Amino acid sequence: MEIIRTVEWMKQVSRQARAEGRLTGFVPTMGALHAGHVSLVRAAQRDCSPVVVSIFVNPAQFGPGEDFARYPRSFDADSVLLQSLGVEYLFAPEAAEMYPPGFSSYVEVEGLGSRLEGRARPGHFRGVATVVLKLLEIVEPWRAYFGRKDAQQVRIIQQLVRDFYLDAQIEVCPIVRENDGLALSSRNAYLSADDRRAATALCRALGAAREAIERGERNAARLVAAMREVIGRERRAAADYVEVVRADSFEPAAQLRGECYALLAVFFGATRLLDNMLIVEKDGAMRCEI
């Protein structure tokens, strides 16, 4: 595996792959890799060659008082893992390489970027959209792979690609979970043992909504109430938001129609975790993907 540190070097590798008629797959990460990231790499390897994985903890998407300084970093272990998976290239630039002196251009996806996570974390999606645009321009992949756990982020990236006529296809992969249902996240490392046990309330709340849907419930407010009831029974949990939204706009839904998301953002101690369930209407029936 080749470790690439500079933008120009990465661009040269990308141009060479394209000249050889190869289809590059790209998995952008912030490191602290887990089985969810591995699933993205495997998906890329099924479709593409070469595969590029990036590790870059993007300072532009962290607000004041957030966890940029303590965000989990395990570059050596991540490198060993990626090499064992057969990844060809690891793009790992320093912040000064991605944001050199004089950098002053940022990207905002209006509307989608101001709701939910955008409201809770002002400036977050501006940083995400900016770095993803830069990475897609640098790597120039045929396909880029993202996990559905960060559903609003994925939707914003899809909008970004559409609005700027980028060539990359965005592939959205399923959430990977622990045996007890907790969605894998690098921030799970922050959880105390008690908070880790409590965090299973996320999946249990989504499960309650799914059971209600399977019984015929289509009213979003009643689904939200069912999820809030589960979260409320867990004394170590504090809900930031519990919503059912349209999958295209991330605006609140009144009734389940088409594609929707049930979205959760919940604090367990000082750790804020996200989870979601995709709800798809097909042939008059509702299919739920947790």
Provide the token pair at 26: 């790209």
Please give the Cα distance from 91 to 113 (Å, whole number): 27
Cβ(55)–Cβ(78) below 8 Å: yes
124 among known catalytic residues: no
Token pair of 73, please?
């970093």
β-strand partners of 3: 90
Among 24, 27, 31, 37, the one annotated catalytic:
37
Element (H, E) at 51: strand 51-55
Give the Cα separation of 245 and 259 in Å (integer): 9
- Beta-strand pair 51-55/25-29: parallel
The single-letter code of the amino acid at 122 is P
C-alpha triplet 163, 165, 169: angle, nearest 5°: 105
Amino acid identity, position 37: H
What type of residue is 228? R
The CA distance from 129 to 60, in Å, is: 10
By annotation, the residues acting in catalysis are 37
